[in-house]
Structure 1
Amino acid sequence: MKRLLSLILICLPALLWAQGAMRQLQHMHQVRKGETWAAIATRYGVSEQALRQANPDVKTKKDKPRKGELLCIPETCPPPEPPPAPVATVSTSMASLNIGVLLPLEEDSGRGAKMVEFYQGLLMAADSVRRGGTDITIHALHTGSTRASMQQLLSAHKQELQHTQVIFGPVDDEQIEPLNEFCMQHGIRLVMPFAHTRGNANQPLAYTATAPANVSATDAAALVDRVMGNDANYVIVNTSKPDTRGALFTGKLKEQLATRGVAARVLNIDGDDFAYESAFNQTQVNCIVPDNTGIKSLNILCTKLLDFSAEHPQYRLRLVGYPEWNTYTKTLLESFFQLDTYAFCTYYSHPMSDSTVSFGRSFASNFGHPMATSFPCYAMMGFDMGYHFMHGLATQGDTFEDRQGGLNPQPAQHHFTFRQDTEGGGRTNHFVQLVHYSPDQKITLVR
């Protein structure tokens, strides 16, 4: 990997690092309800034909691109006219933003490549926000991985960082404390993109964007219980090799059910037909939850459940499980459909959806290479996180903490629902959803 400069100051419109060359960032527009090709083209000062040619894969219905689609705006167009100022309204928006990005951007490793792609997605978000009339300056710094390297960085670059409104980082746990102290001292919002073992209890402007495993498991258990409803017979499948996430979620689910006096049944995966029939109920939906997230045990369970269903069609079976399952669809998609499967997750993007394809095309145009194939997609993560905070601060200003709802209703991959877990403490993202693979072969998101 080519090494990034230790400090990159980017005053948007941004010039982006891409395969040894700097390229002008192509603009993006997220389609709102009712917008037509002609209206969007007029807004950006480009012909409708050029706009359509730049987005050949976007589906059209009655001369309108689908709501939520990310459109690539041809590079030659001027910025759109800013929306008219509201009448008789006091504006809380920010005309300019200073953003810090403190990540291990120079690591010659798989982690370093992911951080660079996250940063590139964040740059795309910054450019989208800039087109609304906000000037944005980004200070990107390579942090290393130690507490000492973070302290040295903050000391050397205090002048530019102390005036930022938000800093994204760090990655390593031992760097949290010095960065947190710096942000508290200067009243800066600290957005920690990735899950950490240390909390944010002492920093009211700290945001944990990826919830720790125990938090997401608790939230997922509550959502599953609500969606499955009272007409559910829960069956925990003991695979004899529970993994960390499986054991955590099934434990939280048992706790959730206990709050309303319901006990889950337990079934050994290698049990015979009689054992399965004894665990299931003919009058309720049988929600089957294994204690292992892996594909090997899931393959075994799916085979057993499908065989059982063929022999006993009077039982209603429903498989409930984990984020990892969404990566197993190449081999298990048909089984998921047949077993009416629900998989909880905190982020999701369908690799073949129009919006994902459009985003990937824009990324490749901007940076000269395709996004890495990963789940989650780090470019989308950077875009969604960057847009949530930069657009939020640009439009809400200092009222951002109290007015975060609906800032980005159609993200590429990540939603954010931040809540304070303790009074005076930081905020954690509590968003969770279920990906439903229904018997009619549809995939929908349930929240």
Structure 2
Amino acid sequence: NTMVANNIPGPVESRCRDMHKVKRKETVFSISREYGISETELIAANPELKGENKIKKGTFLCIPYPKAQTEQSTQSQAIPTDSELFRENRKETERFSTIKAAVILPFLDGVSKSESSRMVEYYEGLLIAVDSLKRTGTSIDLYTYNSGPENTSLNSILGKSEMKDMDIIFGPLYQQHIKPLAEFAKKQNTRLVIPFTSKDNTVFQNPAIYQINTPQSYLYSEVYNHFVRQFPNANVIFIEASQDTKDKAEFIKGLKDELRNRSIPMKSLKESVAVESLKTVLRADRENIFIPTSGSNLTLIKILPQLTLLVREQPESRIHLFGYPEWQTYTKDHLEAFFELDTYFYSSFYTNNLLPAAINFTKTYRRWYGKEMDERYPKFGMLGFDTGYFFLKGLARYGSSFEKNMQGLDLIPIQTGFKFQRVNNWGGFINKKVFFVHFTKNFELVKLDFD
């Protein structure tokens, strides 16, 4: 529901990177999070919002540039001409007889062993994707380069003659390498897939970029929307953790604002509270959702005994535990409790190791490389396979019309979901895919997809 700036009557100042048409029940908070800016920045660009609790549906708001962007660049930024956008927007579709792809990641030379092993595993997964596609008749030339550590220049790589012919580039790891690689990709009309960092704002000014890892503000906005759709009749009880709460402070604040805006009741209790006190906050007419304010394993260890006892003593109450992506790491320790508490957590990545696709990939990885993937989440081998397969399959099927048709790719990723949205009229794409994973009382694991 964002509007292209030149479709709106009257002059639009260059300080607006986009215009937003307010929908029902939207707030200053939800809109600012959707665009990755602060509430203060949104109000500064729209002074009429100051002191207003509600925004009238249908109102158009100016969406300013992120604060990190310099004043000079924001004033000079304008909606691009067609020649500045991808060729597929103005030409007939071009098919690629052979897809030329580059991988630019730190594999060697001054890179920590931990970082190097993650990058190697990502690359190993991507190689399996390339092999799978070649077996179905897709021709791919893959070029691999070692970027070296973060203080290394990429000029020697970007200066190679073959780089100007690339259709797609995967990388980099380090934030310092994003700007030069993004500028190169934009100049060459080459798609740049950034698999890891979500903290760089280059995607807002560069149509060549695909950002796999969802920026936090977009991620939280998606989670809030899915939460109120999944639990429209909720009674939310926040369990205030005694430590490790800083990481989730922004998530909790935003969720409370969203619940308040939708008149969903909520309460807060200390993590040390006794079962009898937990009983007093339950409501028979609503689903009771317990949410700890920390995602740490230590917090889970403290709260699970009381909650499990509560469920056993109040079997008629509808009770759920709701939490965070890192809970995947602790599942083995708390599996029975998660099932008993009818638990949900949100995540951009998830794989059920019992699914055929996951089993087959794990077997293939073991056969190819004679080892297991590292026990981490996300698993980088699966991330490499999913990103490689999605983009290379898409380019093989749609050619230069990939951007127009990528939502039609009927692929089921092993671990990482893809739901790309262009951030504005002249920027690139971010991945807004979020799942809820549900541990049901029937001892089933269900991945809830909201598309």
Per-residue CA deviation, residues 34-84 of structure 1 (Å, 9 max, x unaligned), is xxxxxxxxxxxxxxxxxxxxxxxxxxxxxxxxxxxxxxxxxxxxxxxxxxx
Question: 1:122 maps to which residue?
Answer: 126
Aligned twin of 1:269: 271
AA aligned to 2:220 is A
Q: 1:203 is matched with which residue: 172, 192, 206? A: 206
After TM superposition, the runs of 4+ consecutive aligned structure 1 residues lying more than 6 A away are none
The CA distance in 1 between the partners of 2:281 and 2:301, in whole Å, is: 20
Q: Which moves more between the two structures, 264-273 or 423-432?
A: 264-273
- The Cα shift of 1:387 comes to 0.6
The residue aligned with 2:34 is none
Whether contact under 8 Å (1:119, 1:382) holds in the other structure is yes
The unaligned stretches of length 5 or more in structure 2 are 1-91
Matched with 2:325 is 323
Q: Which residue of 2 aligns with 1:235?
A: 237
RMSD, matched Cα: 1.9
Q: SS at the partner of 2:169?
A: strand
Q: Counterpart amino acid of 2:221?
A: T
| Maintained 8 Å contact 1:254/1:263 | no
CA distance 1:420–1:264, change in 2 (3 Å): farther
Deviation sequence 1:6-54 (CA, Å, 0-9, x none):
xxxxxxxxxxxxxxxxxxxxxxxxxxxxxxxxxxxxxxxxxxxxxxxxx
Are 1:113 and 2:117 an aligned pair?
A: yes
Q: What's the counterpart of residue 37 of structure 2?
A: none
Counterpart Cα distance in 1 of 2:217 and 2:244: 16
Q: Following superposition of structure 1 onto structure 2, how do residues 86-165 of structure 1 map, counting pairs within 5 Å?
A: 93-106=95-108, 107=111, 109-155=113-159, 157=160, 159-165=161-167
Equivalent residue number for residue 431 of structure 1: 433
Residue 95 of structure 1 contacts residue 133 of structure 1 at CA under 8 Å; is this kept in 2? no
**Does the C-alpha gap of structure 1 residues 203 and 397 become closer, same or farther in structure 2, counting only changes over 3 Å?**
same
Map of 1:446 onto structure 2: 448
- Going from structure 1 to structure 2, the CA distance change for 1:242 and 1:371 (only over 3 Å counts) comes to closer
Counterpart of 2:399 (choices 393, 397, 400) is 397
Per-residue deviation, 1:209: 0.5
**SS of aligned partner of 1:95:** coil
Which of residues 175, 178, 181 in structure 2 aligns to 1:179?
181
Residue 222 (str. 1) matches residue 225 (str. 2): yes
Distance 1:257 1:175 in 2: 39
Task: State the identity as a percent.
Answer: 29
Secondary structure in 2 matching 1:416: coil
One-letter identity of the residue aligned with 2:437: V
* Displacement after TM superposition at 1:92 (Å): 5.1
Q: Does the 8 Å contact 1:340/1:437 carry over to 2?
A: yes
Match of 2:348 in 1: 346
Alignment-mate amino acid for residue 235 of structure 2: N
**Greater shift in the superposed pair: 91-100 or 387-396:** 91-100
Aligned-pair CA distance for 1:368: 3.1
Write the distance in 2 (CA, Å) between the matches of 1:150 and 1:236: 47
C-alpha contact 1:344 1:434 (8 A) present in aligned 2: yes
Between the aligned partners of 1:145 and 1:108, the Cα distance in structure 2 is 9
Cα distance in structure 2, aligned partners of 1:352 and 1:374: 17
Q: Give the CA deviation at 1:371.
A: 2.4
- 1 CA distance for matches of 2:371 and 2:408? 32
The alpha carbon displacement at 1:402 in A equals 1.3
Distance 1:164 1:197 in 2: 25
Out of 413, 416, 419, the position equivalent to 1:414 is 416
Q: Distance in 1 between matches of 2:93 and 2:211?
A: 28
Q: Please tell me whether residue 190 in structure 1 is matched to residue 192 in structure 2.
A: yes
AA in 1 matched with 2:441: P
What's 2:305 paired with?
A: 303
| 1:44-83 to 2 correspondences below 5 Å | none
Alpha-carbon separation, structure 2, partners of 1:173 and 1:91: 33
Q: How many residues align?
A: 355
